[in-house]
Amino acid sequence: MIAQSKTRRWQVVASIALALVLFVYFLSRVSMADVLATVARVRVPWLLASVATALTSYVLRALRWGVILRPLGRPPVGDLLGCTAAGFATSAILPARAGEVIRPLLLSARTRLPAAGTMASILTERLADLAAILVIFGVAVPLARAELAASALTPLRDAAMLAAAGFVVAATAVLYALRKRDGAVGLLTRFLPERFKARGASFGHHVLDGLEAVRDPGSLVRLALWSFTTWGGSILQVLFLAKAFDVRLGLAGSAVFMVVSGLGLAVPTPAGVGGFHATIQFALTRLFGVDVATATAFALLHHAVCFVPITVLGLGYIASVGLTLGRVRTLQDEPPPGEGGS
């Protein structure tokens, strides 16, 4: 336990240090006076529209989570919304995207749904996200040709083709796993230590249970519509913020920007600080020819729109159910309800 605590402490230190380095680099490329002058010219109504759309996309994400969880039960909408907000809030504050673990475990604790199933639902959700993003990117790049810098067309076209191929490979793998469940679960658990094999197999079957939707055309269409609607909200959020800055991004360009800038969230820093900022700055300046002062101001506000409102709401939900951030964090270390110790 002490070793685990020390490891986690070093993870926090390393995460914060990386965030500071990347954020300093991000700011070093521009005069802050120019950035502040750009922010002062932002059109507030469009900024507020971007905030409202961001919050709506979180609501859509929570409702889609409920659709994925239907094989397990129908959790109350209030708990879906609250646990989703709490998950994003803890991911913004704690390292290693802790909210991805805390969110399903908190929902399990609140609703008594099986923890293995709620945990597996997050992987199902991520696979749906991946499929939607690959399709959106593959379609948006050719449609955004007029908006993109000439030097960016070839690499983005190649990336779109790779995305299309990735979608085909991922879809094939999922369909194979569903048709050969035992073989797929066996492959998943083959390299696990003996004491983890039973839990690994249970987790694998829960994941495949969640993915059974793709075998039913009606459920597949429903999940696809929820996924594209959820990401459509994120695209509109970018479009409205671009209008606030008078940046010429259309719907297709906003979609390309959303996918490329989202790569910055893969950097393991709290709330994507530094990595997300630098990636947004890069995307706007290199792909869309936006000046660096506007790109930097855009990155600062876009990050705030994405993370500040949902973090405030998530912390509010945590407090409203009688928990603290520290108590929620310990959910990661406790045996799931009904599954520990056996």
User: What pLDDT, in 10s, does the model give residues 161-182?
Assistant: 888 888 888 888 877 887 888 8
Categorize the per-residue pLDDT at 340 as very low, low, confident or very high, splitting at 50, 70 and 90. very low
* Assigned domain for 206 exists: yes
Mean pLDDT confidence for 258-263: 94
Does residue 46 register a pLDDT over 60? yes
In a domain, 307, yes or no: yes
Please determine, for residue 191, whether its predicted confidence score (pLDDT) is greater than 90.
Answer: no
Assigned domain for 339 exists: no
Mean pLDDT of 128-143: 91
**Residue 209 predicted with pLDDT over 90:** no
pLDDT tens column, 72-100: 889 999 999 999 999 999 988 877 677 88
From 101-105, 270-274, 320-324, the region with the lowest mean pLDDT: 320-324
Whether the per-residue pLDDT at 337 is higher than 60: the answer is no
pLDDT at 320 over 80: yes
pLDDT the model gives residue 341: 42
Give the chain's domain count: 1
The pLDDT-based confidence of 338 (bands split at 50, 70, 90) is: very low
Span of 107-121, 148-162, 169-183 with lowest mean pLDDT:
169-183
The answer to which of 40-49, 241-250, 314-323, 330-339 has the lowest mean pLDDT is: 330-339
| Candidate from 110-119, 166-175, 304-313 with smallest mean pLDDT | 166-175
- Greater pLDDT, 98 or 151: 151
The band of 332, judged by pLDDT with boundaries at 50, 70 and 90, is low
Any domain includes 342: no
Supply the pLDDT for residue 342.
38
**Band of residue 214 on the pLDDT scale cut at 50, 70, 90:** low
The boundaries of the domain holding residue 229 are 2-333
Contact of 268 with 258, CB cutoff 8 Å: no
| Res. 120 pLDDT band, cuts 50 70 90 | confident
Residue 100: inside a domain, yes or no? Answer: yes
pLDDT of residue 210: 66
In-domain check, residue 341? no
